[in-house]
Amino acid sequence: MAIRNIRTENDEILGKKSKEVEVIDEKVKELIKDMIDTMHKFDGVGLAAVQVGVLKRIVVIDLYDEKPILKLINPVIVKTKGEQEVEEGCLSFPNKYVKVKRPAEVTVEALDENGKQIKVTGTELLAQALSHEIDHLNGIVLTDVMIPGSMEYVEPESIKTRKKDKKKK
């Protein structure tokens, strides 16, 4: 397991579409472990493989609740419902936050790390995270979907305070 470098906003790989995973081998499983370690190191809620420079359709999501970390291979959104306007950040856009419109509920079909077909339905933050990470797999980044004029830069020392305030809501 290792911490990988996160590709940031001007890296052209972020605009590329990721390729389907055809074989789930030890290399893919190691990538997933590295992605989880990297996401946790930088206090992220989700991470797509492209964000660590790998053009594979893999995402990990951790809402830091009692539920297990989601490890999704070849995820596809099969159903959406409703709409929510949310504030969103991204590990590839450090210290920047924007407002976006996301579905209020999302259903995703994917494979788990053992190749088993799974279906995940999420609302609120999970719906937001699923939508955000799957956007990454399609070469879509935060600035592509933000509500114009909503970007805000937050000084690094105030980010921890901001996260604590969000958790209170």
Active site members: 133
Which of helix, strand or coil describes residue 130?
helix
DSSP H helices, the chain, are: 26-41, 124-137, 142-145, 156-168
Q: Which two tokens stand for residue 124?
A: 């609120």
At residue 35, φ and ψ (nearest 5 deg) are -65, -40
Closest CA to 122 of 103, 142, 145: 103
Q: Give 62's contacts (C-beta < 8 A, 6+ positions apart).
A: 36, 39, 40, 44, 45, 46, 69, 70
